[in-house]
Structure formats: C-alpha cells, structure tokens
Amino acid sequence: MQLGTDLLALAYLVSATLFILGLKGLTHPASARRGNYYAMAGMILAVVATLLNPAMKSYSFIIAGVVIGAVIGTVIALKIKMTAMPQLVALLHSFVGLTAVLVAVGTYYDRAVLGSPDPVLMTELFIGAFIGAITFTGSLVAFGKLQALISGKPLVFRGQHLVNLVVSLVAVACGIEFVMHDNLLALFIMLALALLLGVLLIVPIGGADMPVVVSMLNSYSGWAATATGFTLENNLLIITGALVGFSGAILSYIMSRAMNRSIVSIILGGFGSGGGSDQAVAVAADRRVKTASVEDAVFLMANASKVIIAPGYGMAVAQAQHALKELMDLLESKGVNIRFAIHPVAGRMPGHMNVLLAEADVPYDRVFEMDEINPEFSTADVVIVVGANDVTNPAAKSEKTSPIYGMPILDVYKARQVFFIKRSMSPGYSGVDNLLFYQDNCALIFGDAKKVCENMAAELRSV
C-alpha cells in the first residue's frame, strides 16, 4: 500500500499539527504528559506516512535502522538516570548534527552521478553540512563537560574570538567555492573547519552556562534538520526542524535573560571563567563557616510557619527528590507551609528540577519559579538549600568583579535561617565561591543530600 501525494501531504500536515500541540503541552508541567502523547502520535504518523511514500523503493536498510535504533533507545531509556538526562540530550543532539553531515555528503554523491547538482541544492548541502558539523562536535564537547569527561571550566586563550572569526570566514569561503565550482575538496575542508569551530565555540563556555548551551545546541540541531529537509525535499522535516530551531533559540534567549547575560556573550564564551574577586575570597577566608546538625534544622523547621526548599544539581546527583517529598509531607502534617523555589538555570538543562520534583509526585502548586518566590524569602522562617550553589550566591548582587555578577538569583539570603546541604566546601559549577556560606544566618549541613534529607524525615517523625 502506498499513499498518494495529497494523502501524504495531509498526513504530514496532521503530524506537524501534533508536534505543535506537543510543544504547547510542554509549556506547563500539568500538561507535559499530554504534550508528549501528542508528539509521540505525530512521530508515529510521520514514520508510517513516510514508509508509505511512493518514492520508497526498498525497506531493508530502514527496517534494520529502526530495529537497531529501537533496541538502543529502549535500553538507554530503561537505564538512564534523571541526573544523566542533560548529557544524554547533548549526545542526542550530536547524532542529529552528524546525520545532517552524512545526508549532505551522501546526497551530493547520489546527485553527482546524474550530473552536476544545481546551485540551489549545492547551497542546501553546504548549509546543512556546515550547521550539522558544528552541532556534532559542539554537542560532543557539551556532553564531555556534563559527563565530567573533560573539565567543566572554560578554556579561554588569547585571540580566541579572532581565531573563531578566521575559521568561520575560511569555512564559509570554502562553502562558497563548493557551491560555485562543484569543488568536492572545498566541501571537505569546510567540514573539517566546521568540526573544529564546534569545539572552539563550546570549550570557552563555563559550566554555569550549560543549561543555555544545551538549549542552544537544541536549536542548532533543529536548523540542521531543516536544511536536511530541504535537501531531501521533505516538507515535514522542514517544519519540524524549524519548530525545534525556533523553540531552542527562544528558550536560549529566555534563559540568557534569566542570567542577565547577552546570548551573544554566552555563545562567544567568557562567562563562568573565574573564581570571584580576590576581595571576596579574602573576606570568605577571614570568616568562620557555621555548621549545623540535622537535629538543629529539624527543630527549627518543626516550629516554623513557612519553609522554602531550593533544590539544585546536588539534589539531582544524590537523587534526593523522593526524600524531599517525604520531608514535605511530614512538615505539612505539622501545619508548616512548604514551597519549592526553582531557578530557571538550576541543574544542567532547562526544567531539570521541575522534572525531578514531578517524578517524586511533588504537587505543581508547591513549585514556584524565581520571580514568584523571591518576594517570599524575607518572610520565610527556614530555607533549605539542596546543592543549589551558583543560583543562590549573593556575589551575583554584591561583587561587580565576579563572573556571575548581574545574574538573578534566588534571594535565600533574606530568610531568617538558611540550612545549606552540601557535600564539601568546594565552589559551584562556575567555580565562584558562594558568599552565602559566610553569612550569619546560614549554616552548612555536610553530607549526601539524600541521606541528610532521609535523616531529617526520620528525626521529624520522632518529634
């Protein structure tokens, strides 16, 4: 059975509509599950419609690819931990980029047999290969940083921006040479330079910017898919690629604004590259850090009227979200008002904390974004910070020489008492010392976040 041209176009239109509904559903945790169902239905329809395309001549390689991909995808989905989701997303972005490169090269060889491809197709091949190559290596570097295979600290060198500019211009010149004169060597030189550019663009970006980097690479992968859609003359791939490209770009812009940073400066690097001013470090060294026990924290929480919990990547690493949910239930049973404060760039990818809390069945009406919750910290009796380092650092407001200066933070320092659950005194992912540790109203509870929260719950049950 094969679909006619009109039916195929209709199926692709319905699929694109389902993808748009899926994106809309993902804008809120309450509708995220429904959004995923819409997107899954759209993808199933798109795959089936493509297989029934009259242009299909053979199914052997497609079936083999689908089976192998399904097995690998299923194994990964069953074994992957939520803490590893950001690096998995980055790795999957690299696959999209590599696919765009392979499709561009393969299409060139396929069309070259029939004669020189037309300039429009050659331009599409150049753009698809260029964006795809940058996405491929850039995503691999992001994966390496998130997986701690390479240092999360930025690699900055003198003349870095000039080198990037020269590499970009030479790559574009080679692409133009390829389009104008059908020069295959120019294509491969361009690919090599684009692969290098992907590395050069990501290595100078600090760990604090990883959420923006992931969403930015998501945008790149969308544009690579769009270029591939033009190459393959597939309208659905063009539409879905554009959806991913625009949504990733918009999300990157929103998150960069949440950090009070120009998205251009983030792409070019230079943020998260220092350890704070010498003055801040000197002040921190001169002041003693308070520590507290689980019993101390539980006593104050049990007698509080409002407790705010600010989770960060430390919660994700320790998988402490379920222990926090139990802690929330116990405190609410004692009449304590509990709220969760979420910073837009907490964790390693957009929405990381929201997903983890939803996994633990924390009600949506207990979870508040930064702009909503910040006015309430001054009225909170206790704030529990669970590994949210950079996004709670007052240096962002007080230290003009700090790399994170100007970045909006959770105003946890305004609470009557702050308990910071942390494994060690090491700075956050950006490498900036957290001045919150040295405030009179802050005490550190050292230990694994999950174990500390479980001990808090056990102590609460005995109170």
Instruction: Name the residues annotated as catalytic.
Output: 390
Phi, psi of 113 (to 5 degrees): -65, -30
Query: What length does the chain have?
Result: 463
Q: How far apart are CA 213 and CA 82, in angstroms?
A: 18
Q: Is residue 227 within 8 Å of residue 162, measured between CB atoms? A: no
User: Strand 442-446's sheet: what is its strand order?
Assistant: 367-369, 337-342, 306-311, 382-386, 417-422, 442-446
Per-residue DSSP letter, 147: T
Structure tokens at 325: 């949910």
- Whole-number Cα distances in Å, 179 to 173, 175, 422: 10, 6, 56
Strand-strand pairing, 367-369 and 306-311: unpaired
Non-local CB neighbours of 221 within 8 Å, separated by 6+ positions: 93, 96, 97, 135, 139, 244, 248
**Strands 306-311 and 337-342, how do they pair?**
parallel
Rounded distance between C-alpha atoms, residue 125 and residue 231, angstroms: 7
For every residue of 67-126, DSSP letters joined together read: HHHHHHHHHHHHH--GGGHHHHHHHHHHHHHHHHHHHHHHHHHHHHTTSSPPHHHHHHHH
CA 344 from centroid of its chain's CA atoms:
11
* Residues 280 and 433: beta-carbon distance below 8 Å: yes
Number of C-beta neighbours around residue 316 at 10 A: 26
What is residue 233's DSSP assignment? Answer: T
